[in-house]
Chains A and B, each alone.
Chain A
């Protein structure tokens, strides 16, 4: 029944999906945290930059950003991100860059809502002790904010996992790309779709359940 799978690197394609997800998740977490820091910080210019970034990036389709990375950055401006002329490597890195830049806007917003859950008294107490803004943020606010936004961040991560399929638009051979290939070559539409749907359910469902459990564990009880 599943002999149409022969000759296709199904696991390999899903492995690329996983790699795209993990690398962009790390990138967006770092950049998103920095953006959140800027947005709540005392420097007006940085606040303005953070706000502008989030509002602009959130409103552009991810597809536009990813296709731009390929057509604009790579083919027009010859940005190769150290890929050394290897299309596969370049496209993969461009996809990670685009996914991370896009997802960071959502990470930033999730974190900012987490910062708002920390009672004002804590920041006041920390300031009264003479901590600077960076210290207040790093030692008191962010650790608690992160614990309260595990659930929203899990949603961002799940959305990111599904969004990696957009990389198919620039020829990164991940799950959606392979699926399109297989549908064109094989006459097994329903089975092929079922296999890929099942693959994504396997990726996203455990993530949601695991992080849902983690969020209950680590949430600060108030």
Chain B
């Protein structure tokens, strides 16, 4: 249903009423903006001195933001690199015909999906500190990546499973009919096709990974992008608001590019004639929904 069905094409009275609503909404927005402006101004957060470092010198970018961003991207990259094959393994494991493969995979996936990433990161950090002698900066990166991998591998496992389940069963039938073994069916027929269906969900999951790296900065003191706010605002005269604005804009730009790419990919795949037309869309914060095969998989990726 297109949303425009909810209201009629507007006549003169409706148009007038809409103008009234618009004006009222503008007034509310303006009041909020005014409150924000005056309270910022009162605390001298809008003074040019506080914003000037970001625009006139490369120093804050070189010293704080770029190294932070590098660490964020590094952690996200390694997490994805390790979580993807691990997730594929567990996702396929859950579809196995053998109970002793299916059950443990299911337990592992459900367990790590139920636990907050932060708890996993704290545990990994403490474990590395106790059982290994990694240097501190390495340990923090390892801890953040471990936490991200454990959680995201289990979410990616569900994406892989939903992707494979989204293929029509005829594919498996056909593979069986020409005498393929189970491994061949998975490797040559199901997996290559489902990869296209999974792509948008995987790209959206990268957004979740990038966002979760910030936990490492706030709680474990991993020197990523968010962690650069404190030293930066200490150095440039308590310009907390300016620092947060810049950091937030970087996150938004980065993740918005990824989100837009994911939905472009989803639209394109859905339109494509060559694929089966099934697309695993990305759900809220790591949930999964399958589009195109409504009766096969429920909203959170569980087979019905």
Contacts and interface: CB of A to CB of B under 8 A. Distances in A.
Nearest to B298: A151
Given A68-B244, A123-B6, A63 B218 contact: yes
B51 interface: no
B211 A61 contact: yes
A159 B287 contact: yes
Contacts, number: 194
Interface string A41-66: 11111100100000110111111101
A168 B118 contact: yes
Contacts of A66: 218
Interface residues of B, number: 66
B219 A169 contact: yes
Interface residues of A, number: 72
A77 interface: yes
B226 to A, nearest CB: 6
B292 to A, nearest CB: 14
B122 A156 contact: no
Contacts of B240: 71-72, 75-76
B139 interface: no
A110 interface: yes
A115 to B, nearest CB: 7
A201 B207 contact: no
A133 B25 contact: no
B211 A159 contact: no
A123 B289 CA distance: 25
B247 interface: yes
B119 A196 contact: yes
B215 interface: yes
B299 interface: yes
Given A151-B298, A200-B115, A72 B244 contact: yes
Contacts of A189: 123, 126-127, 130
Nearest to A38: B25
B287 A60 contact: no
Nearest to A189: B126
Given A59-B207, A205-B114, A176 B119 contact: yes
Given A162-B116, A168-B219, A200-B119, A64 B7 contact: no
A59 B252 contact: yes
Contacts of A166: 118, 215, 218
Interface stretch (B38-46, B61-69, B81-89): B38-46
Interface of A is mostly: helix
Contacts of B6: 40-42, 115, 123, 133, 136-137, 141
Interface string A160-172: 0011011011000
B29 interface: yes
Contact of A133 (B1, B7, B127, B215): B7
B9 to A, nearest CB: 10
Interface in B100-119: 111, 114-119
Contacts of B285: 106, 155-156, 159, 163
Contacts of B218: 63, 66-67, 166, 169
A8 B114 CA distance: 24
Contacts of A116: 1, 3
Contacts of A76: 43, 45, 238, 240-241
A152 B283 contact: yes
B304 to A, nearest CB: 10
A197 B233 CA distance: 36
A197 B212 contact: no
Contact of B25 (A45, A64, A179): A45
Contacts of B2: 120
B134 to A, nearest CB: 16
A42 B7 contact: yes
Interface stretch (B14-22, B170-178, B186-194, B270-278): B14-22
Contact of B119 (A44, A71, A124, A197): A197
Contacts of A89: none
B255 A59 contact: yes
B303 interface: no
Contacts of B255: 58-60
A201 B25 contact: no
A162 B248 CA distance: 22
Interface in B231-272: 233, 238, 240-241, 244, 247-248, 251-252, 254-256, 259
7 contacts: A67-B218, A67-B226, A71-B230, A77-B45, A127-B7, A176-B219, A193-B126
Given A162-B114, A204-B114, A208-B300, 11 more contacts: A42-B6, A43-B21, A64-B244, A71-B229, A123-B1, A137-B6, A154-B300, A155-B287, A156-B287, A179-B122, A189-B126
Q: Which 3 A-B pairs have the closest CB atoms?
A: A59-B255, A155-B287, A169-B218
